């Protein structure tokens, strides 16, 4: 199955330490959502916004492991989103969205993992900075 990573799991090293059999596939974009921080990264629906991320292929066992690691269903809910690659191909993928919605700055150590993930996938860091500086 396909998993859309937009936060700490963008870091290939971090993701593979959690799910060693995950296969990194390609960078993608999630339209109609905004990346925000509620201490941890979150996505909220917002027209005319988009979230950068990447697709991984994961097994059912790894999904169960991610559920536990992401605090599903209490901290994060699991949702299905449609993402698009650079060529316009669309994919349905599993993603996580926080249950409780609020805006809070991320801890610096956590943010550094996200920076590494953005660098791993060649994503522009200004998109991450925009999320960090977002005030509702």
Instruction: Give me the active site residues, please.
Output: 70
Any long-range contacts for 44-53 (C-beta under 8 Å, 24+ apart)? 44/97, 44/101, 51/6, 52/6, 52/27, 52/28, 52/118, 52/121, 52/123, 52/124, 52/127, 53/4, 53/5, 53/6, 53/10, 53/27, 53/28, 53/29, 53/83
Give the relative orientation of helices 125-132 and 108-121 as an angle to the nearest 10 degrees: 150
95 labelled ligand-binding: no
5 labelled ligand-binding: yes
Query: Which tokens go with 14?
Result: 């971090």
91 labelled ligand-binding: no
Torsion angle of the four alpha carbons 60, 64, 65, 67, in this order, in degrees rounded to the nearest 10:
130
4 labelled ligand-binding: yes
93 labelled ligand-binding: no
Which residue numbers belong to the known binding site for substrate?
3-8, 110
Annotation: binding site: 3-8, 110
């Amino acid at each position: 199955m396909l998993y859309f990573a937009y936060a700490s799991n963008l870091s290939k090293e971090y993701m593979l330490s959690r799910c060693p059999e995950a296969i990194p596939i390609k960078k993608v974009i999630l339209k109609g959502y905004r990346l925000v921080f509620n201490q941890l990264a979150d996505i909220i629906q917002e027209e005319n916004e988009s979230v950068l991320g990447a697709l991984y292929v994961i097994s059912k066992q790894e999904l169960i492991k991610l559920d536990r690691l992401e605090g599903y269903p209490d901290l994060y809910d699991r949702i299905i989103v449609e993402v698009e690659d650079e060529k316009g191909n669309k994919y349905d993928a599993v993603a996580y969205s926080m249950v409780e919605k609020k805006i809070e700055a991320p801890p610096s150590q956590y943010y550094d993992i996200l920076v590494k993930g953005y660098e791993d996938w060649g994503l522009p860091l200004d998109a991450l900075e925009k999320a960090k500086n977002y005030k509702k």
